[in-house]
Chains A and B, each alone.
Chain A
Amino acid sequence: MRIDIDALVPWVGSLVVVLLGSLVFPNFLSLDYLLTQAQIASFLGVLAAGAMVVILLGHIDLSVPWTLGWAAIVSTTLVGTGHPVLEAIAIPAALCTGAIIGVVNGIGVAVFRIPSMVWTLAVNAMLLGTSVLFTGGFNPRGEASPLMRALASGDKLGLPNALWVWLMLSVALVWLLRRTAFGRYLVAIGLSEKATWLSGVGTPRIVFGAFIVAGLCSALGGVLLAGYANQAYQSMGDPYLMPVIAAVVIGGTSILGGRGSYLGTVGGALFITLLTSVLSVMQFGEAWRQIIFGGIIILMLLVQNFRRGVQA
């Protein structure tokens, strides 16, 4: 198996961040700290996995924040009723919500052929609106189920459960991308939708599939975040949109579609989590943290661009 060098860039970046951080705070190299970071990176990683599928296709899903928001609202509200059956179906119902939003996105992009950047942004706005209608603008009542809390915060065999969830999702996704026709069509469509369609591939159904996978991943992320915070709250997804896309792109996936490796996306999620953590520990003001964060991401993208330019 050939490993994409682009995919290794964020891994190297993560290593550099940890080593540099440890110069200031030796604590950074402790297992505890790293496991906590891995747990937090899992939330981002699960969201980025879905985003990557859509980006590989040459599209983008900007409805991530409120898809995860709605998944959190649905699951915590069901648990909040106190009814044991409703509590049991909280997670499946949240995933279904994500899948339905994926179908709506798929309809806009595959059937009406509206650019995904616009359509999913509009869907995101409508999800925001409906959630305000539903909750009256307050934080939704309800709470996470013990299972949700355990998934987000517990651990097994010395590793955080969230990390286990991310790992299992990753195995499934790698299988999907590498071993199934769906995965190959995804890349082919990302490179040339026309040529793929002329090869007799039902491209609309692949687009649908990709947006459904993305919706499911966003919803799973929402469930984990709700479990972590033990509640759903307004705008809980908003801080995640840019980091999710940044994680995918830093991992070497072309924003134009067709090129990218999942290994890179995992590295991207780790890198962004570690960078955020290091910057906050170093006690810069919020303003500087944002500026440095943005600057480093731009720097990494420039490095990749430059490297590809040298290759070509």
Chain B
Amino acid sequence: MPHDVVTPSGTAPIVELRGASRHYGPVVALSEVDFACHAGEIHAVLGENGAGKSTLMKLVAGVVQPEPGEVRVDGHPVRLSSPRVALEHGIVCMFQELSLAPDLSVRDNVLLGARSTGLGFFSYRRMHDVRALLDRIGGESIRLTARVRDLTLPDRQLVEIVKALYREPRLLILDEATSALNASVVERVFTLLRERRDAGLGVLFISHRFHEVEALADRISVFRNGRHVETFDNGRYDYGDIIQRMVGQSIDELFPPKASVDEVPGEVVLAVDGLTWNGRLHDLCFNVRAGDIIGIGGLDGQGQITLLQALFGVLRRVDGAVKIGERVLAPENPRIAKQSSTGLALVPEDRKTEGLIPHLSIAANLELAQLGHDGPGDADFEALAAELELKCASFAQPAAALSGGNQQKVALMKWLALSPRCLLLADPTRGIDVRTKTQIYALLRRLASQGVAVVLLSTDHEELVHLCDRVHVFYDGRIVSTLAGEELTSEAVVSASLDSGAAA
């Protein structure tokens, strides 16, 4: 257990969390976490999307406060009410989202808010220090007077790192700090970090690139579903064991049984051949048959959403053949995509701004897709509501009054009214309670058995493994791995997502 972690130096950890929890509305991001990070160690945090890593970082960096729970710095309880307060304790965070001011020069960005710059008299010595730091980590070509806006993404990341280091932190938090850097630059950054560690710097390190974690970390903490699973020294477990800890046990009773293997495969409903868009999607090829539930997985933002948008006609100038229904081209807009000759439906990612109009009544939301549609007339919304156990006083209620899970049911129902041939779903169970998830899973399986082709984008690996018949794992707009049958395990999905990251 985390309590009996032996302090390497024998002193109190720089930062320690005790029983720290954090909720966002009904969603539990972190739950009773005990965690400590010491001086002179590089501590990696591993976990799937939504495991609570980012929330943990925000707690330590003073962006959010634990409710309830305690933060200790050097053994004393403190309240890190803002990043400024955290900085006073020597905690500096470099976040995933870049925090540079685009219109300021590199020099100004680095010196902005750094310690002891006071009223901002920039001395020649400081400029020299910044230059030296940049040169050390491979930023020789970056001019100090260049505007950040004009730099490439990797260069900006280097400036971020320099900016963070220049503040002379005692604890440095790196959240995907090296995601845009190539291997040789990463190695130089790591060398510098190791040097600083030996001088007593503590580093909290998040990366999806597993090989980076292996190369850099002294200790590793694994998080899952907002809980701290285990902390151990790097090298104690092998790759498979660590993945096992990240993914956890499967929950079989959540998912309906898959279609049996001996069933005759249905006809191809959606055939995608060479789909390419604007440098974000590259030559995607796959088929979806009637009765299939196809999973789309991978790390966040690798083109999964873009694929669904391209199929549904949200994007312009999509290249490649998309054969669906009587059409050979990708639809030009959602209006064409939903016509019964095409038969597509998309349940978008964000139900509050895309899937529904919260201010409108449930009834008005339900009819929005159906109005002006050329397909079969009135769907039996009452029966659907009963099957999904939609909890509402009446259809005249505004959708905003429903809970997240029930809103998602409405967002689904409005499309089911059109009897689509192919249903595209963008992470339909994100932030939804387990019971509603189960209902949605059962519905999807029933639809599939009735011959609907389902494409399910999910950030939940359990879902991909236990609900889907086949899973395409994305990285950088490409399908890097296709898993089915026996190969389709959580470990395989995670490892495919991460390994492709390593290869890039």
Query: Which residues from chain A sit less than 8 Å from chain B, CB to CB?
Result: 181, 184-185, 187-188, 191-192, 194-202, 258-259
Contact = CB atoms under 8 A, between A and B. Distances in A.
A1 to B, nearest CB: 12
A184 B364 contact: yes
Contacts of A201: 334-335, 368, 371-372
B371 A192 contact: no
21 contacts: A181-B372, A184-B368, A187-B360, A188-B357, A191-B357, A192-B357, A194-B353, A194-B354, A195-B355, A195-B368, A196-B357, A197-B333, A198-B312, A198-B334, A198-B346, A198-B355, A199-B368, A200-B338, A201-B371, A202-B333, A202-B335
Given A191-B360, A259-B359, 14 more contacts: A181-B372, A187-B360, A187-B364, A188-B357, A188-B360, A191-B359, A192-B353, A194-B353, A196-B357, A197-B333, A198-B354, A199-B338, A199-B414, A201-B372
Interface string B354-371: 111101100010011101
B360 A200 contact: no
A255 to B, nearest CB: 15
B346 A195 contact: no
Contacts of A194: 353-354
Contacts of B314: 198
A200 B371 CA distance: 9
B368 A188 contact: yes
B369 A200 contact: yes
B353 A200 contact: no
Contacts of B346: 198
B269 interface: no
Contacts of A185: 371
B348 interface: yes
A184 B354 contact: no
Contact of A195 (B353, B371, B372, B373): B353
Contacts of B335: 200-202
A185 B370 CA distance: 12
Contacts of A258: 359
B142 interface: no
Interface in B335-356: 335, 337-338, 346, 348, 353-356
- Of the four ranges (under 10, 10 to 19, 20 to 34, 35 or more), the interface on chain B belongs to 20 to 34
A76 to B, nearest CB: 40
Contacts of B354: 194-195, 198
A200 B364 contact: no
Contacts of B334: 197-201
A33 B83 CA distance: 68
Given A188-B368, A200-B373, A201-B372, A195 B357 contact: yes
The 7 closest A-B pairs by CB, nearest first: A200-B338, A200-B334, A181-B371, A199-B369, A199-B368, A202-B335, A192-B357
**Which of B348, B353, B355, B359 gathers most chain A CB within 10 Å?**
B359
A195 B346 CA distance: 11
A81 to B, nearest CB: 44
A6 to B, nearest CB: 14
B367 A184 contact: yes
Interface string B303-326: 000000000101000000000000
Contact of A188 (B333, B337, B353, B364): B364
Contacts of B353: 192, 194-195
A201 B355 CA distance: 13
A196 B368 contact: yes
Nearest to A189: B357
Contacts of A199: 334, 338, 368-369, 414
A56 B353 CA distance: 18
A197 B333 CA distance: 9
Interface in B23-80: none
B349 to A, nearest CB: 10
Contacts of B312: 198
A184 B333 contact: no
Nearest to B368: A199
A194 B314 CA distance: 10
A121 to B, nearest CB: 29
A198 B424 CA distance: 12
Interface string B368-393: 11011100000000000000000000
Contacts of A195: 353-357, 368
Nearest to A200: B338
Contacts of B373: 200
Contacts of A192: 353, 357
B357 A200 contact: no
A197 B357 CA distance: 11
A276 B143 CA distance: 66
B355 to A, nearest CB: 7
B240 to A, nearest CB: 41
Nearest to A196: B368
A188 B358 CA distance: 10
Contacts of B364: 184, 187-188
